[in-house]
């Protein structure tokens, strides 16, 4: 098991305190005000059908939504008025849907972008502790990687960026169950080492541990919050039927 030193190079684990965050696209309200708390090293799962506002929530937290309101506090630092690049430099790192890897750049160049974000030189040792096979492919164009490898690379880039809290948008999407297991194992190691996460998935998926909270979104609003309660597929189906606008 990797030691805590790798992901904690920026200091002790930090939490995220989100209060009254909402987002709009023009006049269309995409996300009603909502609160989220991630404790240091914690795990919050956000689930919901297509168009529920899950990606909008993560993009808003990352500062990528043009019209948004509310408070976003990472550790002791209020990021609410910061631009997306500044939020990312503070350690609030988004791994977007579709992995966000960059065709035309090699694996190493992708990681160098992460290292630049983290303000420190790339340390392959840090990455290899969690994703040992990636270095073999350092000179490969990332466009030639498989979906699972791209997801690993996106996680590796966040490690190189010395992320303090991860926003993960459907990391299992389009991956075979075996590969999802591998991706989750890497996330488990990071989470165990104190890296907090908000994980968005379309369905309630079996994770490496019970999330601290599960938030169910539909049509841009919270329709259910579950603390220490497993939200299964049957329950989600009931919630969607009753909770949609």
Write out the residues near other proteins by the rule CB under 8 A. Answer: 62-64, 83-86, 88-89, 93-94, 96, 100, 102-106, 109, 112-114, 116-117, 139, 141, 143-144, 157, 161
Name which of 155, 160, 225, 145 is nearest 187 in CA terms: 155
Taking the least distance from each CB to other proteins, the nearer of 58 and 183 is 58
Name which of 107, 212, 211, 89 is nearest 150 in CA terms: 107
Q: How far is the CB of 88 from other proteins (least distance, A)?
A: 4
Taking the least distance from each CB to other proteins, the nearer of 117 and 187 is 117
Taking the least distance from each CB to other proteins, the nearer of 79 and 216 is 79
The answer for residues whose C-beta is within 8 angstroms of residue 85's C-beta and 6 or more apart is none
Q: What is the Cα–Cα distance from 148 to 153, expressed in whole angstroms? A: 9
Cα distances (Å, whole numbers) of residue 196 to 72, 111, 139, 187: 15, 20, 30, 10
Q: What is the Cα–Cα distance from 230 to 206, expressed in whole angstroms? A: 10
Taking the least distance from each CB to other proteins, the nearer of 63 and 211 is 63
Residue 61 half-sphere exposure, CB side, CA atoms within 13 Å? 31
Write out the two tokens for 9.
Answer: 């190079």
Q: How far is the CB of 169 from other proteins (least distance, A)?
A: 10
Q: Can you tell me whether residue 209 is helix, strand or coil?
A: coil
Q: How far is the CB of 67 from other proteins (least distance, A)?
A: 15
Q: How far is the CB of 138 from other proteins (least distance, A)?
A: 12
Taking the least distance from each CB to other proteins, the nearer of 169 and 193 is 169
Cα distances (Å, whole numbers) of residue 50 to 23, 69, 172, 192: 17, 23, 15, 30
β-bridge mates for residue 73, sequence order: 17, 78
Q: How far is the CB of 109 from other proteins (least distance, A)?
A: 6
Taking the least distance from each CB to other proteins, the nearer of 80 and 106 is 106
Q: How far is the CB of 125 from other proteins (least distance, A)?
A: 21
Q: How far is the CB of 143 from other proteins (least distance, A)?
A: 6
* Phi, psi dihedrals of residue 108, rounded to the nearest 5°: -65, -40
Q: What is the Cα–Cα distance from 199 to 46, expressed in whole angstroms? A: 6
Taking the least distance from each CB to other proteins, the nearer of 140 and 192 is 140
Residues 114/158, Cβ–Cβ less than 8 Å: yes
């Amino acid at each position: 098991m990797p030691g805590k030193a790798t992901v904690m190079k920026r200091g002790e684990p930090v939490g995220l305190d989100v209060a009254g965050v909402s987002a709009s696209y023009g006049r269309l309200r995409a996300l009603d005000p909502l609160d989220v708390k991630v404790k240091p090293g914690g795990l919050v799962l956000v689930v919901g059908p297509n168009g529920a506002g899950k990606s909008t929530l993560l993009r808003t937290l990352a500062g990528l939504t043009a019209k948004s309101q509310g408070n976003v506090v990472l550790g002791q630092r209020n990021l609410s008025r910061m631009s997306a690049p500044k939020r990312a430099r503070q350690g609030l790192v988004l791994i977007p849907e579709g992995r966000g890897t960059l065709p035309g750049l090699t694996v190493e160049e992708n990681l160098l972008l992460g290292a630049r974000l983290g303000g420190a030189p790339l340390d392959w040792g840090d990455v290899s502790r969690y994703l040992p096979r990636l270095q073999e492919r350092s000179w490969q164009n990332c466009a030639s990687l498989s979906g699972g490898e791209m997801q690993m690379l996106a996680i590796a880039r966040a490690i190189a960026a010395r992320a303090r809290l991860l926003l993960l948008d459907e990391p299992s999407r389009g991956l075979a169950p075996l590969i999802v297991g591998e991706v989750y194992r890497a996330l488990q190691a990071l989470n165990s080492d104190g890296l907090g996460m908000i994980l968005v998935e379309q369905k309630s998926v079996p994770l490496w541990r019970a999330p601290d909270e599960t938030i169910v979104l539909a049509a841009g609003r919270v329709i259910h919050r579950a603390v220490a309660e497993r939200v299964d597929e049957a329950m989600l189906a009931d919630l969607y039927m009753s909770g949609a606008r």
